[in-house]
Structures are given as C-alpha cells and as structure tokens.
Structure 1
Amino acid sequence: TGSNACYMEEMRNVEMLEGNQGQMCINMEWGAFGDNGCLDDIRTDYDRVVDEYSLNAGKQRFEKMISGMYLGEIVRFEGHAPSNSLALVLHSDRLALLQVRAILQQLGLNSTCDDSILVKTVCGVVSKRAAQLCGAGMAAVVEKIRENRGLDHLNVTVGVDGTLYKLHPHFSRVMHQTVKELSPKCTVSFLLSEDGSGKGAALITAVGVRLRGETMSA
C-alpha cells in the first residue's frame, strides 16, 4: 500500500545522540518526501488531483507517486481503477490488449482497439515512473552510505517487501536498473521478503547477508 525506507547510519552523523561508535537504523519516512514542494517540478496535474482528493491532502506526496495504493488512482477511469487491474494490464505483451479490454468491460466501458492501446500505454508510463522514482530514492540512499563511509565502491544488500515489487511484471526490473544507473559506484543486491512487513524485509536482509558472509549496509 504505502512506501518507506530505512538504512544504517554511522553514529558519528547522528547529531542528537552522543558517541561516534557503531551505527543506528534510520527510519526515513520517505513517503513524506516532497511535502515541502521540492517535487513540484515533476508532479503532474493528475498527481495534484489524486493528492487533493486523498484523505491526507498535501502530505505523503512521494508515496502517492510510487506506491501501489495510488497508482490505480493516477490512471483512474471515472474515479475507479483498482491497482491490481493496472498490474494485470501489463502482465503480458501478447495478451495485453485482451486483458485491457476485459478490465474495461468490468468497469462498464466499451473500448476500441485504439482505446485499449492508449490505456496500456498510460499504465506503462505511470508504472515506469513509479519504479524509476523509487529507484532514484534508493540510489540516493546507497550513495549517501558510500560517501559517509569514505568508500570508492560500496557493496550493499537491500531487503524489499510489498506486492507491487513482487507481483508487478516490470516494477522490480525498472527499479533495479534505475539504481544501477544512478549509483554506479555501488553494487546493490536485493533480497525479497515474503511476509509483507518492513520487519520482515530487515530480517531477511540480515539473515541473507550473514549467510553470504557480508556486512549488512542497508
């Protein structure tokens, strides 16, 4: 539904606590990124409408651009488009148009072939943007870790959970590619948690890294 991230920060950079030894887990609450207007240049009119009619208008703006809870709303049809329908539209190129037409019929809409192509294109663009924005945020985090540690290159493992990452046919691939392009000095490995909780993502990362004899960095 929503989106968040956390990472391990060096204690010497945590100003509110004394001591320079060790690390602390930082809960970024990155869904609120952009609430100060810093994302206004890339927000569209559709983003603004979704935000305006949400239960927390003006807040969690980044989350509303990348999380599964809102992607269907950005692409919405007369105000109703479940997020799982968006994923189904993109599941297979070969069957995509048939799936689009079936979904539109379920919504009580008659569609032409051109309509189906347009819907598929819009769903693809919105999904790709969400994955790229999520990847950009992740790239910024791993780059910060690398710079804070004074490393020329960082090997890092990231625990991930959520149905959008797990079930969307293209989201994870686009996100991974974006991280790779924006943080070339970092080698990022992703480990998927199956339990759908942030705690699960952290635990699966810790266990996976320990088994591989690495040092957990995120």
Structure 2
Amino acid sequence: MDTLTSKHGLVSVSPSQPVHQHEVDSLSPDLRQELERLEKEFSVDAKKLKEISKQFEQELQDGLDKYGSNISMNVTWVLGWPDGHETGYFLTVDLGGTNLRVCWIHLTERSGDIKVTQEEYKLPKEVKTGGADQLFDFIAEQLKDFLEKHELRGTKDEPLQLGFTFSYPAHQDYIDHGKLVTWTKGFEIDGVEGEDAAGLLRAAIEKKDLPIHLVALINDTTGAMIASAYNDPDTIVGAIFGTGCNGAYMENVGSIHKLETGLPPETPMAINCEYGAFDNAHQALPRTKYDIKIDEESPKPGEQAFEKMSAGLYLGEIYRHVVLGLHEKGILFAGQDAAKLHEPYSLDTGFLSALENDMSIGMSDTRRSFREHLGFEASPEELIFSQRLAEAIAVRGARLCTCGIAAICRKKGIKSGHVAADGSVANKHPTFKKRWAAAMGEVLDWAEDRKEDPITITSAEDGSGVGAAVIAAMTLKRAKEGNMAGIKQR
C-alpha cells in the first residue's frame, strides 16, 4: 500500500486495486459531500431499471406499429438468419464515426477461415461537417484507392459486389436503399438527411467509373447480429455499446404492423431498432443537470436521449461537465488553469476507463493523464475523487445499457442466448460486461444463486465487415432464387 501526503493528511492509494471506502473517508469534507451527492445522482436501482425497461418495451412496440415513432424500429429487408453456407468474395465499406474502413472479404462457410483484407482511412474533419458531395466523393475515392492498392478487378458485366455499412438511422424501402433520418455521433453533413445514402454513394461510384455493384445498405448493429449468427446459432440479439448505442433483433413481418410486404406473416426480418432515441420525451430516464446540459449543447438537442446517457461518445463529456462545475466552485483542481477543461469532448471514454481502472503505484498513470489531457497537477485526494466519479458514471452507463436488451427479450419471450455486442465500451472497458450482466439479472429477475447467466454478451464478429458481406451474400442468393422482396430492380 502506497501512502501519499495531502494537505488534509495521509491518503492511502493501493497499487493493485481501485479506490475503497476507507480511502474515500480520507477526502476533505467538501469533496466527500460532493462525491456522496454525485454517486446518489448517478445511481439507478433495480426498481428504476425495471420501470425504464417497461417503457422501453412500449416504445419498441410503437415503432413497429407506426412510422414517426420515437424509436423508429427500421425494417432492414434482411430476411432470416444466415445458414452458415454463404460464400464468395465481397467488398465492404463502413462509414464509422472516426474512420472509413474498406474491406475485401472471402466468406468460406461457417467455422471456416474467413479472410479479410482491410484499410482504414481517417475521416477529415471538414468532411464530417461539409456537404453530401464531399462525403460521398471521399468514400468513392478511397474505394478506388483500395481497388488499385490490392489489384482488385471487376467489369461492368461482373462487378465487385459491395455491402455498405451506414451506421445511422435510415428508412429502408429496399435493402439497397436507405433515406437518412437524422445524423448521429456528432455528424452534421448537409444534403444527406432525407436522401438515399445508398443512391448518393452509387452516384459517386459511377462518377469515378468503378466496377462496383452496391448490393445492400446495412446498419452496423444488424451486421453484428448477422455476422455473429453466421458462426454462432445461439445469437439472439445484436448490440452496439460504443460511440453510440443500438440494438437489432429478428421480428416476424406479421408483427410489423406499419409494413405491408406480401410475405408470409411468420417470415423473420431483422429490425434495426435505433433505440438511442428512447425516451426523447423524458418520461423515464433519470437525467441529471449534466445530461441536460450535454443535450442542450449537442448538434441535435432533444434527440438521442438514451444514447446521450449511456454511449461512449458522451461518458467522458458527462465527466468533464461534473469536474468543470466543481472547479468553478473552487472545490476541485482549485487555482489551476482550466482552459482545456472548457473544450467540449476533450475527454473520451478511454480516459475514463483508464482512470477508473488505474492500478499503478500512487495512481501515477492517472496523474500523468491529467497532466497530458488537462494540464492539471492532481493531488492524492483529487485522484481518489476522480476515480470514484469515473466509476459512478460508468456504472450508470452499463446499467442503463441493459434496458433495451431486456425489453427485447421480454417482448420476444427470449430466455437464453447470446447478445452479440460490438463497440469500444463493450469490448474495451474491463468491467462493463460484469456490470451489464448483474443489472440484466435484476431487470429479468434471474435467480440470485444461479450458476451461470442465461443471457450473456459475446464479442460480436466484425459486423461492419463480415456482417455486410454475409448480408450481401444472403441478398444475392435470394435474388437468384427469385425472392425479390425488398430488392430494388435496377
């Protein structure tokens, strides 16, 4: 145990484990009082989680019943699960929040050796806030670069088949068509909302005369579910716990009351929930003043209420607002230059995760991180307070993330299976899955003495790459069989 000296006396900081209560008791009265207040504000008990999940279930149903609902429940025209025998070569492009990723994928059947060749291209800042032509010309240019670099050849008669992962809310009349409803993840690009994103990319590809045929536009959440199911038949739901948050699952078309397909009612179709917009009316979620401020200062005030409280893009920003408020009150980092703390989104979820899970002697890693990110020299008690605050914010986020999945499981009567989860929060935060599972048990009333959890998170296969390829393969296969439902004739 390493002992540090602060102006308030001796403070113990463990070299091998995060902060414990006896260390919190060493905080000054002001900091201890603020910590107690904040931990109470960010606490979400089992009763509240159940209330949120019940409201969630209602909003999911509303989205199936009619267009324009809070949770849009977008149809995808991905009909059924993969059988694991989809094969072939496919080009995929994924428009993510930070990078553009292009892949060349060889599907070799379930449990086979799927081969993926990929390149990542940084999205220039000006592209994320520019116009539609600038964005889609950029994507087409990177596709051209990829084809040249990897010597991929196609012809007009035999073009390369492309799956386009577009991880934003889109209304799809066809699987190869999708009108953007609204930008999320901080994007604000003119001329795309209300337009067919697949058509815009298709036009950019044609302008460069690339031998590419766009087969399917997919959401990364749907892709994560399908890619995982390709190798794991126990997959029940796809989920994204990362920059944004979302869920996807299979619904019978007969239960999608807003849609007339002519298909047998028991036909399964993947639904891209887009449930980051849950509770935009602010009826269920326990918002704090920090959540409200983040919403007001966001590019889309009044939208994506659930995402802004649980997704990775916002956790660091919640923390920044709390710390900034305490600094302005003279309680935390008093007298230090807070210029960097005033910069929106200057702290990300990686910063929070490293802070919460710092096991270095005397929390030297966190001390260095504060110095590098904020220019602060943190005292021992400020390190302890900061770690406990990061934990409170992360725990709330993980617990809230159960509500959408629990609502889907209750709605469909799902009792067991795998939630295929992708995203930085799910796969990189060391305690997220454990906290999520504990809260899931509380919401679904699992036995406390259970030997194992009936519903578990698995790390999703590459939804934006492999998932897009599998969906493209499924689409081409059913088109060949004459099932053209949801496939636009071109």
Q: Which residue of 2 aligns with 1:85?
A: 351
SS at match of 1:8: strand
Change (3 A) 1:33 1:96: farther
Structure 2 counterpart of 1:86, which letter? L
- Return the alpha-carbon distance in structure 2 between the equivalents of residues 123 and 85 of structure 1: 9
Query: TM-score, length-normalised on structure 2?
Result: 0.37
- Return the alpha-carbon distance in structure 2 between the equivalents of residues 196 and 86 of structure 1: 26
- Return the alpha-carbon distance in structure 1 between the equivalents of residues 362 and 277 of structure 2: 34
- Return the alpha-carbon distance in structure 1 between the equivalents of residues 302 and 408 of structure 2: 24
Structure 2 stretches of 5 or more lacking a match?
1-242, 324-340, 447-452, 471-490
How far residue 121 of structure 1 moved from its aligned partner, in angstroms, is 0.8
How far residue 115 of structure 1 moved from its aligned partner, in angstroms, is 0.7
> Which residue among 32, 39, 49 is the counterpart of 2:293?
49
Q: Which residue of 1 aligns with 2:396?
A: 129
Partners of 1:180 and 1:188 within 8 A in 2: no
How far residue 86 of structure 1 moved from its aligned partner, in angstroms, is 0.6
Match status 1:159 vs 2:420:
yes
> Which residue among 296, 300, 305 is the counterpart of 1:61?
305
Q: Residues 89-108 of structure 1 correspond to what in structure 2 (within 5 A)?
A: 89-93=355-359, 95=361, 97-106=363-372, 107-108=374-375
- Return the alpha-carbon distance in structure 2 between the equivalents of residues 29 and 6 of structure 1: 8
How far residue 75 of structure 1 moved from its aligned partner, in angstroms, is 0.2
Question: Bigger CA drift: 180-189 or 131-140?
Answer: 180-189
Partners of 2:358 and 2:366 within 8 A in 1: no
How far residue 32 of structure 1 moved from its aligned partner, in angstroms, is 0.5
> Which residue among 111, 115, 140 is the counterpart of 2:407?
140
- Return the alpha-carbon distance in structure 2 between the equivalents of residues 196 and 90 of structure 1: 29
> Which residue among 385, 391, 397 is the counterpart of 1:118?
385
Change (3 A) 1:194 1:114: farther
Change (3 A) 1:198 1:165: farther
Q: Which residue of 2 aligns with 1:212?
A: none
Which digits, 9 at most, give the CA deviation of each residue in 1:12-51, with x for residues without a partner? 32213354223221111010012122235x0000001111
> Which residue among 181, 191, 215 is the counterpart of 2:442?
181
Change (3 A) 1:194 1:100: farther
SS at match of 1:20: coil
The structure in which a higher percent of residues are strand is 2
> Which residue among 246, 263, 269 is the counterpart of 1:24?
269
Question: Bigger CA drift: 10-19 or 104-113?
Answer: 10-19
SS at match of 2:270: strand
Which digits, 9 at most, give the CA deviation of each residue in 1:156-208, with x for residues without a partner? 2211101111111211211122112212468213221253639749x7xxxxx
Match status 1:6 vs 2:248:
yes
Structure 1 stretches of 5 or more lacking a match?
147-152, 204-218
- Return the alpha-carbon distance in structure 1 between the equivalents of residues 370 and 420 of structure 2: 35
Partners of 1:96 and 1:120 within 8 A in 2: no
How far residue 96 of structure 1 moved from its aligned partner, in angstroms, is 7.6
- Return the alpha-carbon distance in structure 2 between the equivalents of residues 112 and 72 of structure 1: 21
Q: Which residue of 2 aligns with 1:215?
A: none
Q: Which residue of 2 aligns with 1:206?
A: none
Which digits, 9 at most, give the CA deviation of each residue in 1:60-92, with x for residues without a partner? 111111111111000015233222111111224
SS at match of 1:12: helix
Match status 1:38 vs 2:299:
no
Q: Residues 69-80 of structure 1 correspond to what in structure 2 (within 5 A)?
A: 69-76=313-320, 77=323, 78-79=341-342, 80=346
- Return the alpha-carbon distance in structure 2 between the equivalents of residues 85 and 35 of structure 1: 28
How far residue 93 of structure 1 moved from its aligned partner, in angstroms, is 4.4
The root-mean-square deviation of aligned C-alpha atoms, in Å, is 2.4
Partners of 2:433 and 2:457 within 8 A in 1: no
Structure 2 counterpart of 1:37, which letter? H
Change (3 A) 1:104 1:48: same
Structure 2 counterpart of 1:100, which letter? T
- Return the alpha-carbon distance in structure 2 between the equivalents of residues 188 and 165 of structure 1: 15
Partners of 2:356 and 2:388 within 8 A in 1: no
- Return the alpha-carbon distance in structure 1 between the equivalents of residues 463 and 247 of structure 2: 14
Q: Which residue of 2 aligns with 1:149?
A: none
Change (3 A) 1:122 1:200: farther
How far residue 130 of structure 1 moved from its aligned partner, in angstroms, is 0.3
